[in-house]
Amino acid sequence: MNISTPNTTVLKTKPNIYVMAWFIAMLFYFVEYAVRSSPSVMIPELSGLFGLSAVGVSVVAGTYYYTYSVTSLIAGIALDKTGARYAVSVGIFILGLGCLLFALSHLYTGYTGRLLQGAGSAFAFPGCVYLASKGFSKRSLATAIGFTQCLGMLGGTAGQFIVGPLIHRGVSVSAFWIGTGILSMALCAILFWITPAEEPLSNTRETNLLQPYKTVFGNLQSYLCGLVSGLLFAPTTVFIMVWGVVFFQQDRGLSYQQATLVSSMVPLGWVLGCPLLGWLADFAGRRKPVIIGGGLLMIVSILQLLFLPHLMQAYISMFLMGTGSGASMIPYTIIKEVNPDEVKGSATGAINFITFGVTALLGPLFNRLFGKTLSTTTNHAQHFTSTGLFLIAGIAVAIIISLFLRETGQRQEVAVGND
């Protein structure tokens, strides 16, 4: 009995350790989303820090998505090979270093810092899912992952709704980024300390590490999932998290506080939309109708904001748009269901790569078409309308592409089984 008791204790307490590590990783996810969205509320201050125009600042901020998309492919492999203790800790450290460099008043450190922020952030969500799978049973795993996504979206809201007033009340952008960097370094140390070390993969398997990605990228459905997710997510990443506050100030004549509130409603809508639409897809037994419905809700919300602005307050319109945008997470489920079981982890890295690759491509196009003309246009109402129609066009393309997705809902499986 005395010999077996320690082993029993280890078995009971080890999942609890992983739950604690998951909680720290969630804080990492919260911080990285705040880092992702906060430049939108400090564009004038960053312009002064780096000596750039507003468009130049948006270019620097947008480089986040280049390294985020590419490093998403590395994150999945790193977690499988080294475990969360090393992979996630390194990710947090890279994010913290990027924040510290971003605080320096030099253009090159600004670019380098933002690139590092994107690279480090790519480890956040996969790391949370990895740790949750270690600490929770299958019955509660989906709930844990859903809660993780909600906390990340709250970080996106905090990056605008909380950081904006701080900057407006006199907190310097350098102080903010230094504080965020120090917080990230503290989270890195805590997670490394409490997360159990794991046995790495055998060296004999190193040559097969890329095989899962060959399988995933050899499947046309994987690309369709990534394109749908990326195009539904683009209004948030390309517009709200970079340009939202400035556009609502200049094109719609809102005050700084009002523009910040309106922009922060989009990620807050995600907090509701992600779990709600995911649950609806499971309840209905269909994935595609919910994706299409979410896209239509986004389109209707933007159209109302453009052409019937007095029907609802702008912050309600943006909250509804964010809620509909939660449908962009459903392809994350589909891509796992249309690929073999043994590559499900790599499928997550692949869809992250495609999703944010779409943002990396659309960002410069949006800057050229609408960002550069924001300060020079003489018709701000028409400028805002053109911007909204551009976003609607991308959502419409996502809806069309979703028609070609393979339906993987339970109702479809039952129908196939009966055949």
Read off the pLDDT of residues 146-192 as tens digits, 9 standing for 90 and up. Answer: 678 788 888 988 888 889 888 888 899 999 999 999 999 999 999 99
**Does the pLDDT at position 287 exceed 70?**
yes
Residues 191 and 277 in one domain: no
Distance in angstroms (rounded) separating the CA atoms of residues 326 and 88:
25
CA–CA separation, 103 and 268 (whole Å): 27
Q: For 133-148, what is each residue's pLDDT tens digit?
A: 788 775 665 567 767 8
Task: Name the CA dihedral angle for 237, 280, 403, 344, rounded to a multiple of 10 degrees.
Answer: 70
Please compute the mean of the pLDDT values over residues 198-211 and round it to a whole number: 58
Instruction: Please check whether residue 143 lies inside any domain of the structure.
Output: yes
CA atoms of 271 and 109, how far apart (whole Å): 33
* The domain boundary residue, chosen from 149, 174, 196: 196
More confidently predicted of 137 and 233: 233
pLDDT at 14: 58
Provide the residue range defining the domain that includes 221: 209-408
Per DSSP, 173 falls in state H
Indicate whether 216 and 114 sit together in one domain: no
pLDDT band at 413 (very low <50, low <70, confident <90, very high): low
Percentage above 90 pLDDT, the chain? 56
Mean pLDDT of the chain: 87
Q: Mean pLDDT, to the nearest integer, of 43-47?
A: 92
From 171, 196, 221, the end of a domain falls on 196
Contact 355, 230 (CB under 8 A): yes
pLDDT band at 82 (very low <50, low <70, confident <90, very high): confident
Per-residue confidence (pLDDT) for residue 40, from 0 to 100: 87
Report d(CA 90, CA 79) in Å as an integer. 11
Q: Is residue 61 part of a domain?
A: yes
Q: Residue 12 has what pLDDT?
A: 45
DSSP notation for 174-211: HHHHHHHHHHHHHHHHHHHHHSPP-PPPPGGGGGGTTH
Same domain for 170 and 219, yes or no, is no
Over its C-alpha atoms, the chain yields an Rg (Å, rounded) of 21
Are 234 and 293 part of one and the same domain?
Answer: yes
Taking a C-beta distance cutoff of 8 angstroms, is the pair 34, 159 a contact? yes
User: Would you say residue 388 has pLDDT above 50?
Assistant: yes
Q: What is the pLDDT of residue 262?
A: 95
Neighbours of 318 (CB within 10 A): 27
The amino acid present at 280, given as its one-letter code, is: L
Query: Is the domain of 258 the same as that of 401?
Result: yes
Does 323 reside within a domain?
A: yes
Nearest to 149 by CA among 134, 132, 162, 135: 132
If one counts every other C-beta atom within 10 angstroms of the C-beta of residue 86, the result is: 17
**pLDDT of 63 above 70:** yes
The total number of structural domains in the chain stands at: 2
Same domain, 219 and 169: no
SS3 state of residue 376: coil
17 and 135 part of one domain: yes
Cα 85 to Cα 188: distance, rounded to the nearest angstrom: 10
Residues 115 and 154 grouped into a single domain:
yes
Among 5, 35, 345, 343, CA closest to 184:
35
Whether residue 155 is found in the same domain as residue 270: no
Q: Please choose, from the candidates 142, 417, 406, the residue with its C-alpha nearest in 3D space to the C-alpha of residue 286.
A: 406
Q: Is the pLDDT of residue 411 over 70?
A: no
> Which structure tokens are listed for 346?
């790599």
Q: How high is the pLDDT of residue 333?
A: 82
Q: Residue 93: pLDDT above 50? A: yes
Each residue of 353-364: pLDDT tens digit?
Answer: 999 899 989 999
361, 237 contact by CB (below 8 A): no
Mean pLDDT of 209-220: 86
Q: What is residue 339's DSSP assignment?
A: S
Does 416 map to a domain?
A: no
Nearest to 402 by CA among 298, 322, 330: 330
Residue-wise pLDDT for 362-377, tens only, equals 999 999 999 999 988 9
- The lowest-confidence range among 304-313, 342-351, 401-410 is 342-351
Contact 242, 159 (CB under 8 A): no
Among 67-71, 307-311, 333-337, 389-393, name the one with the lowest average pLDDT. 333-337
What is the average per-residue pLDDT within 248-261? Answer: 93
- The CATH code of the domain that includes 244 is 1.20.1250.20
User: Across the chain, how many H-helices and E-strands are there?
Assistant: 20, 0
Rounded CA-CA distance 348/76 in Å is 8
Spatial distance between the Cα atoms of 388 and 391, rounded to a whole number of angstroms? 5
355 and 245 assigned to the same domain: yes
Of 164, 196, 228, the position where a domain reaches its end is 196
Mean pLDDT of 52-62: 91
Whether 413 maps to a domain, the answer reads no
Write a three-state SS string for 89-109: HHHHHHHHHHHHHHCCCCHHH
Does 30 reside within a domain? Answer: yes
39 lies in the same domain as 185: yes
11 pLDDT band, cuts 50/70/90, is very low
Report the C-alpha gap between 22 and 132 in whole angstroms: 6
Domain for residue 73, yes or no?
Answer: yes
Residue 265 amino acid letter: M
Mean pLDDT of 260-288: 88
Q: What is the rounded CA–CA span in Å between residue 299 and residue 137? A: 38
Closest CA to 118 of 235, 227, 33: 33
pLDDT (mean) for 78-87: 85
Distance CA 68, CA 228 (A): 18
- Residue 417 in any domain: the answer is no
Q: Is the pLDDT of residue 207 over 60?
A: no
Say what the pLDDT of residue 1 is: 37
Q: What is the pLDDT of residue 365?
A: 94
> Do the Cβ atoms of 285 and 411 come closer than 8 Å?
yes
* 342 in the same domain as 380: yes
User: Could you tell me the pLDDT band of residue 217, with boundaries at 50, 70 and 90?
Assistant: very high
Can you give the pLDDT at residue 298?
A: 98
